[in-house]
C-alpha cells in the first residue's frame, strides 16, 4: 500500500483541509494565548509598581516645614543597585510647577532623572505613562500627587505638594513574553505535527474500506472474483451491496441477451436449411443463385452472431479462463475431426496462463485458428501460448504451403477466401479478429517456423 496519497485523491483533500484548519486554529490560539499572557504580565507588572508607590508614600516622613524624606524607611534592594531597572523619585511641586532640581531620587538612578514621554490620568489621582531612564531604556511608571501640611505655620490650608513616582524597565515584561512565546511556538509546532500525523492516520484508516472496495473491483475486473466479498462499515455496506446487485444484474442481462442471440441463430438457421433443401431438390440457375445467397446469409449470420455474443461477454465483469485446459480440449476434439490427416498437434502452454474473458469466446478464437491450421497443414500443427507483459500471445502455425504477403493481406484484412475447395464459411479469421478487437487484442498473420502460415493472437491476460 502506498503511504503518500495522490494529490487529487479524497484522502489528500481531507488531510489538506483538516491540516489547514488545524494550523489556523493553532495560529489563532497561539496569538490569543500570547496576548492573554502579555496582558497578565503587564497587569502583574503594574500591580508591583502600584504596590511600591503605596509603600513609598507610606514611608514618607514630613517635617514641620512640609519637607519629606524617606530616611531609610523605604529600603528595597531593587532601588539600591545602580541602573537596576527599578527607580523612584519625589519631585516637589511649586507654584510654577514641578521643581526637578530639588527632586529626591533613588540610588539606582545615580545622577539621572526620569523623562516622561506620555502619561494618562486615572480616577483616584494615579497617573500611568511611559518615559526613558538611564541608558535611554524605556520605562513604565505610575505617579501620584500628594500634599503634606506645613505644621510650622499652624495654617491648615498651608500645604506642600510632591509628585511621587515609581518606574521600572519594561524590557522585563518583554523578556517574559518572549520566553513564553518561544515555548509556545515549539510546543504548538510539536502539537501541530502530532495533530496532522493523527489526522493522516485517521483518514487513512477511515478510508481503508474504500480502498478495499477498489481492490475488490480490480479483482472482479481481472476475473479473480465474481462479487465484492468481505465485511464493510455501515456507511460502505450499501455501496458494496448495490455494486454486487449491479454486477449480478449485468450478468443476468447479458445472459438473457445471449440466450436471445442463440434463439435467433436457431430461428434463422432452420429456414435457411429448408431453403437450401428446396433449392437442392430443383437444380438449375435459380437454385444455384438461391444457394449462393443462402451461403452468404449463413456466413453473415455466423459472423454477426459471434460478434454480438462476444460483445456481451466483454461487458461482464469477473470473466477468467485458464488457457491450458481449453487448448487441450480443443486439440483433443480437432484430432478426431481431422483424423484422416493423421496430424501431429503440439501444444506448449504454461499451466498458470489465464485469459481475462469468457471461456466460450476463447474457445471460438483458438478453435478457429487451430481448425484453420489443421485444414491446411500437411503433417504438423504447433500451438504455443505465452505471456507478454499484461497480454497473452497465442501462436498457431502449420507446415502447409502458407501465404505470401499479398494473400495474407486479403485473408487477414478483408476476410476473403482464397480456396473454396476446403469446407467452411470462410469467416473464421474475421470472427477471430472481431472478438479479439472487442477484448482489446489483435490478430496478425505471418510465416510459421514450420514453413506454413502462422496466426498470432494477442489477448488480455490476468496476472
Q: Which DSSP state fits 369? A: H
Percentage of residues of the chain with pLDDT beyond 70: 82
Residue 308 banded pLDDT, cuts 50, 70, 90? low
Over 70: is that where the pLDDT of 427 sits?
Answer: no
**Mean confidence (pLDDT) of the chain:** 80
Residue 183 banded pLDDT, cuts 50, 70, 90? very high
Over 70: is that where the pLDDT of 343 sits?
Answer: yes
Q: Which residue has the cell 466483454?
A: 314
Over 70: is that where the pLDDT of 420 sits?
Answer: no
Cβ-proximal residues to 342 (8 Å cutoff; 6+ apart), any chain: 379
Q: Does domain 321-460 have CATH number 3.30.565.10?
A: yes
Residue 424 banded pLDDT, cuts 50, 70, 90? very low
pLDDT of amino acid 165: 93
pLDDT of amino acid 8: 65
Over 50: is that where the pLDDT of 418 sits?
Answer: no
Residue 421 banded pLDDT, cuts 50, 70, 90? very low
Rg over alpha carbons for the chain, rounded to the nearest Å, is 51
> What is the mean predicted confidence (pLDDT) over 48-67?
84
Backbone angles phi, psi at 168, to 5 degrees: -150, 155
Over 50: is that where the pLDDT of 414 sits?
Answer: no
pLDDT tens for each residue of 97-143: 566 667 788 888 888 888 889 989 888 789 999 999 888 899 999 99
pLDDT tens for each residue of 145-155: 888 877 666 66
pLDDT of amino acid 419: 45
Please answer whether residues 269 and 301 qualify as being in contact, where contact means their C-beta atoms are separated by less than 8 angstroms: yes
Burial of 55 (0-12, 13-18, 19+ CB in 10 A): middle
pLDDT tens for each residue of 236-276: 777 778 887 887 777 777 667 766 666 776 677 677 777 87
pLDDT of amino acid 190: 92
pLDDT of amino acid 425: 43
Beta bridge partners of 120: 128
Residue 217 banded pLDDT, cuts 50, 70, 90? confident
Q: What element of type H or E holds 28?
A: helix 10-59
- Identify the CA nearest to 16 among candidates 27, 25, 26, 5: 5
> What is the mean predicted confidence (pLDDT) over 308-324?
65
Over 90: is that where the pLDDT of 36 sits?
Answer: yes
> What is the mean predicted confidence (pLDDT) over 402-420?
63
Over 70: is that where the pLDDT of 55 sits?
Answer: yes
Cβ-proximal residues to 139 (8 Å cutoff; 6+ apart), any chain: 87, 114, 130, 131, 132, 133, 167, 168, 169, 170
Mind spelling out the 3-state secondary structure of 183-234?
HHHHHHHHHHHHHHHHHHHHHHHHCHHHHHHHHHHHHHHCCCCCCCCCCCCC
Burial of 37 (0-12, 13-18, 19+ CB in 10 A): middle
pLDDT of amino acid 309: 59
Over 70: is that where the pLDDT of 212 sits?
Answer: yes
Beta bridge partners of 252: none
Residue 1 banded pLDDT, cuts 50, 70, 90? very low
pLDDT of amino acid 104: 85
**Where do the structural domains in the chain lie, given as residue ranges?**
60-169, 212-248, 250-314, 321-460
Output the CA torsion sign for 95, 98, 100, 103: positive
Amino acid at each position: 500500500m502506498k503511504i503518500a496519497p495522490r494529490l487529487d485523491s479524497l484522502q489528500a483533500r481531507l488531510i489538506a483541509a483538516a491540516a489547514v484548519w488545524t494550523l489556523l486554529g493553532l495560529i489563532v490560539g497561539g496569538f490569543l494565548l500570547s496576548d492573554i499572557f502579555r496582558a497578565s504580565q503587564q497587569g502583574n507588572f503594574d500591580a508591583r509598581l502600584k504596590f511600591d508607590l503605596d509603600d513609598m508614600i507610606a514611608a514618607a516622613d514630613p517635617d514641620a516645614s512640609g519637607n519629606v524624606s524617606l530616611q531609610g524607611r523605604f529600603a528595597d534592594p531593587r532601588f539600591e543597585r545602580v541602573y537596576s531597572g527599578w527607580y523612584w523619585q519625589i519631585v516637589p511641586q511649586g507654584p510654577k510647577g514641578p521643581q526637578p532640581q530639588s527632586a529626591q531620587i533613588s540610588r539606582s538612578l545615580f545622577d539621572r532623572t526620569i523623562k516622561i514621554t506620555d502619561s494618562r490620568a486615572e480616577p483616584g489621582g494615579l497617573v500611568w505613562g511611559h518615559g526613558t531612564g538611564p541608558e535611554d531604556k524605556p520605562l513604565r511608571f505610575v505617579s501620584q500627587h500628594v500634599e503634606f501640611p506645613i505644621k510650622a505655620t499652624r495654617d491648615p490650608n498651608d500645604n506642600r505638594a510632591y509628585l511621587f513616582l515609581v518606574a521600572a524597565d519594561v524590557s522585563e515584561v518583554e523578556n517574559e513574553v518572549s520566553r513564553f512565546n518561544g515555548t509556545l511556538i515549539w510546543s504548538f509546532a510539536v502539537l501541530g505535527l502530532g495533530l496532522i500525523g493523527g489526522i493522516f492516520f485517521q483518514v487513512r484508516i477511515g478510508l481503508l474500506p474504500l480502498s478495499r472496495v477498489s481492490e475488490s473491483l480490480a479483482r472482479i475486473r481481472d476475473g479473480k472474483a465474481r462479487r465484492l466479498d468481505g465485511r464493510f462499515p455501515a456507511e460502505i455496506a450499501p455501496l458494496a451491496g448495490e455494486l454486487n446487485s449491479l454486477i449480478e444484474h449485468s450478468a443476468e442481462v447479458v445472459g438473457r441477451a445471449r440466450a436471445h442471440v442463440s434463439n435467433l441463430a436457431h430461428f434463422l438457421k432452420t429456414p435457411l436449411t429448408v431453403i437450401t433443401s428446396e433449392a437442392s431438390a430443383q437444380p438449375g440457375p435459380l437454385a444455384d443463385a438461391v444457394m449462393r445467397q443462402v451461403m452468404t446469409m449463413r456466413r453473415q449470420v455466423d459472423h454477426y452472431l459471434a460478434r454480438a455474443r462476444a460483445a456481451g461477454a466483454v461487458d461482464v465483469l469477473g470473466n477468467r479462463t485458464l488457457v491450458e485446459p481449453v487448448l487441450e480440449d480443443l486439440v483433443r476434439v480437432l484430432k478426431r475431426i481431422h483424423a484422416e490427416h493423421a496430424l501431429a498437434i503440439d501444444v506448449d502452454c504454461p499451466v498458470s496462463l489465464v485469459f481475462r474473458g469468457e471461456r466460450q469466446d476463447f474457445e471460438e478464437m483458438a478453435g478457429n485458428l487451430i481448425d484453420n491450421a489443421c485444414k491446411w497443414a500437411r503433417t504438423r500443427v504447433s500451438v504455443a501460448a505465452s505471456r507478454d507483459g499484461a497480454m497473452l500471445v497465442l501462436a498457431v502455425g502449420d507446415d502447409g504451403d502458407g501465404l505470401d504477403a499479398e494473400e495474407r493481406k486479403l485473408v487477414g484484412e478483408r476476410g476473403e477466401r482464397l480456396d473454396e475447395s476446403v469446407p467452411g464459411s470462410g469467416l473464421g479469421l474475421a470472427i477471430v479478429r472481431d472478438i479479439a478487437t472487442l477484448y482489446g487484442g489483435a490478430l496478425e498473420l505471418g510465416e510459421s517456423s514450420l514453413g506454413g502460415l502462422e496466426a498470432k493472437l494477442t489477448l488480455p491476460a490476468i496476472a
